[in-house]
Amino acid sequence: MLAERGIAFAPELTVEGEEAEFVRALLRVAARYEEDAKAAEQVRERMDMLSSASFEGILVHEDGVVIDVNARLGELLRADPRDLLGPETMPTAVAPEDLPGVLERVASGYEGPYVITGIRRDGSRFRAEFLSKQGKLGDRPVRIAAVRDVSERERTLELLRESEKRFKDLTETAFDLCVASRDGLVVELRGSLERFLGYEPAEVLGRPVVDFVAPAARLMTEQALGGRMEGAYFSTLLSKQGEAVPVEVIGVNSSLDGVPTRMAGVRDLRLIRRIEAERWQLQHQVERMQRLDSLGLLAGGIAHDFNNLLVGVIGNAELLLMSPVAPDTRELLTGILSAGKRATDLTRRLLAYSGRGEVAPPSALDVGELISDLDSLVSSARAKGIVIATTIEAGVAVMGDRTTLLQVLLNLSTNAIDALESTRGRVEIRARRVSQPDARFDDAIGATVRPGNWVLLEVEDDGVGMDELTKARIFEPFFSTKERGHGLGLAACLGILRGHRGALHVESAPGKGSCFSLLLPAAEPRAEPAERKSVRPAPLDVEPCSVLVVDDHPMVRAQMRRSLELRGFIVVDAEDGQSCLDRLEQRAVDLILLDMTMPGLAGPDLLRTIRSRGVRVPVVLTSGYTLSAEALEAGSFQAFLQKPYGIGELLAAIERARRAA
């Protein structure tokens, strides 16, 4: 009470003796009390100032009962500090999922920082960092906690973690392996090292980078590491199994844990190199096919025009032979006919190469029978000491035309025998079914090869073989390695194979022989051998009639007119489609001899126009190419005659057409 009221002595008051001593002692006590009170007040003011100025909320609790808080904690929790005193503050201010952990730390006397989720009085949440310490309030043990709102810091850290994760994901996606090295030693790895090189990380960490680089690429790697070169370069690594792995390396100078470090992203180029090789191979194959197709188009055009000329040559020679001529002249005419027939064979080979040759409708052919026929054909060409061995799987059959496929086998077998150069050697002919053709047919010529039902035919010899330049040209028409060869044998084989939707692959090397592998669509074997059809001789006593000859080539029209008029036919000719329609309006005819290939209105279109006008007379189609049945309606024509042809074949076609009409 004295301290609160203050003490004062009147000037006139005199105190002596023991009373004076007592008063002086009392005054000293009062002064000290006053000083202590002022000091305590100053301490409280400083504490309140520090507490209010603190960026952290402060609370003091005893066994979870809050006994004191500062104003900042009230701001953090958006509550009056006086309302935070008591046992309910901690259960309501700490998120339920974090409360057990907080109580466990209180019970264990844990001292240190940790982060929880706090709940404000309005129900909103924030991330709070606690820093707890044990203390005393007088003799009472208490815990003092500093609370800081770290929501922004946590959000920033989360963004950094997300950014780092995105960077790592991007890096691992862009590169197969990420390597951190210091002083040339591997200090950190990211990526599928075991899949990439076959090593476990422990086998690589701490070892020199160059230990895993191929010898030829080590100098470049050492220069990149030593000179701290930044950017991309190509190198070759060595897998644990010793495989050379082509890679692209992108190196940068960075830091790891604050220490300068070399960072490198490594990209595996094996797949890319394989794709590039396959693309180059495909491009090469396409270019080769385009070149062969261009040659085929040229060959087909030459053969077509040449066939028209041969019609005149052969037909006129036959007409002269029918008239009285001297023996010497007859011999010359016979030579002309013989040469014309040989030329006909050449043009048919050209047409076969171009894919426009004459191929009968496909049927099931027993491969064993084909090769049996082949054996009798090549026996006369087989030199002494040459062995021809056959290995034919039982019941193997293909879909195709017997004559043309036999021509293919005969040509390949003859070439194999010639490759032995009349020395002792061996030719093997093999045939078997396959459903999954091997990788060599990825580079085959002809049809695209996919898994399916195929027959593999192989003709292999151990002769002189071919170099790459020769092998690249063997299917070109008029290219031959033989002194007397015309270069149409293999060209025709390729065309026939295309017509059968087959594929062909050639393997050869100088001194190691050659192997021609053919894939043909398989067929179910026939129950009984097919009957060989006999060829009916062409009749020469056909009843004459009126014929309209439609052909754009004057020599063909003139030869047809002379040949038919000599046999009593009435012939009218037309040089194109419009002339043909005009002739049909002017007069009726008994038969039309129509060329398929003409400028302007082509044969198929002209035939459709003729039929649409109600003309129902029989039609014989002629062409230097094979008939394309898809281009014509069934029943619109009655016979087909391929150029060149003689008078006997012409008369036979006329009779077939008149009978079919």
Arithmetic mean of pLDDT, 427-441: 87
- Which residue shows structure tokens 């049945």? 629
Instruction: Give domain status of residue 169, yes or no.
Output: no
Q: Which of 552, 580, 549, 491 is nearest to 305 (CA)?
A: 552
Same domain, 492 and 565: no
**pLDDT tens, residue by residue, 466-498:** 888 888 888 776 677 776 655 566 777 777 787
**Residue 612: CATH number of its domain:** 3.40.50.2300
Which tokens belong to 287? 């270019």
Instruction: Give domain status of residue 538, yes or no.
Output: no
The sign of the dihedral angle between the CA atoms of 199, 203, 209, 214 is: negative
**Residue 253: CATH number of its domain:** 3.30.450.20
Which tokens belong to 298? 């040229």
- Which of the four pLDDT bands, split at 50, 70 and 90, describes residue 305? low
The sign of the dihedral angle between the CA atoms of 199, 200, 205, 207 is: negative
131 three-state secondary structure? strand
Same domain, 630 and 512: no
Reply yes or no on whether the pLDDT at 435 is more than 80. yes
Reply yes or no on whether the pLDDT at 549 is more than 90. yes
Q: Which comes out higher in pLDDT, residue 392 or 525?
A: 392
- Which of the four pLDDT bands, split at 50, 70 and 90, describes residue 300? low
Same domain, 369 and 510: yes
How high is the pLDDT of residue 581? 92
Q: Which of 482, 320, 471, 358 is nearest to 414 (CA)?
A: 482
627, 515 Cβ separation under 8 angstroms: no
Same domain, 371 and 500: yes
Query: Which range of residues forms the domain containing residue 63?
Result: 54-154
Instruction: Give domain status of residue 498, yes or no.
Output: yes
According to DSSP, the residues that pair with 574 across neighbouring strands are 550
Instruction: Give domain status of residue 290, yes or no.
Output: yes
DSSP string, 265-315: EEEE-HHHHHHHHHHHHHHHHHHHHHHHHHHHHHHHHHHHHHHHHHHHHHH
Reply yes or no on whether the pLDDT at 374 is more than 80. no
**Residue 330: CATH number of its domain:** 1.10.287
Question: What percentage of the chain exceeds 70 in pLDDT?
Answer: 75
Reply yes or no on whether the pLDDT at 536 is more than 50. no
Q: How far is CA 331 from CA 336, 337, 428, 432, in A?
A: 9, 10, 44, 50
- Which residue shows structure tokens 């190419």? 625
**pLDDT tens, residue by residue, 64-109:** 888 888 888 888 899 988 888 888 888 899 999 999 998 888 888 8
Same domain, 126 and 75: yes
Same domain, 76 and 144: yes
CA dihedral 73, 76, 82, 83 (to 10 degrees): -130
**pLDDT tens, residue by residue, 440-457:** 887 788 777 888 889 999
Residue at which a domain ends, from 154, 187, 222: 154
How high is the pLDDT of residue 346? 63
Instruction: Give domain status of residue 558, yes or no.
Output: yes
Instruction: Give domain status of residue 602, yes or no.
Output: yes
Same domain, 656 and 597: yes
- Which of the four pLDDT bands, split at 50, 70 and 90, describes residue 162? confident
Tell me how far apart the 2 most distant CA atoms of the chain are, in Å. 192
Reply yes or no on whether the pLDDT at 247 is more than 80. yes
How high is the pLDDT of residue 580? 92
Same domain, 377 and 516: yes
Same domain, 519 and 467: yes
Reply yes or no on whether the pLDDT at 526 is more than 70. no
**Residue 395: CATH number of its domain:** 3.30.565.10
Same domain, 484 and 593: no
Residue at which a domain ends, from 523, 555, 585: 523
- DSSP letter at 86 equals B
Query: How many domains does the structure of the chain reveal?
Result: 6
| Type of residue at 253 | N
According to DSSP, the residues that pair with 426 across neighbouring strands are 387
Q: How far is CA 214 from CA 101, 178, 224, 296, 545, in A?
A: 55, 18, 15, 49, 87
Residue 377, number of CB atoms within 10 A of its CB: 13
Reply yes or no on whether the pLDDT at 546 is more than 90. yes
Instruction: Give domain status of residue 575, yes or no.
Output: yes
Same domain, 380 and 514: yes
Instruction: Give domain status of residue 191, yes or no.
Output: yes
Same domain, 653 and 568: yes
Reply yes or no on whether the pLDDT at 533 is more than 50. no
Q: How far is CA 612 from CA 334, 394, 597, 605, 606, in A?
A: 45, 52, 20, 11, 10
- Which of the four pLDDT bands, split at 50, 70 and 90, describes residue 46? low
How high is the pLDDT of residue 359? 46
DSSP string, 198-237: S--GGGTTTSBGGGGB-GGGHHHHHHHHHTT--EEEEEEE
Q: Which of 97, 93, 100, 104 is nearest to 147 (CA)?
A: 93
Residue at which a domain ends, from 124, 154, 184: 154
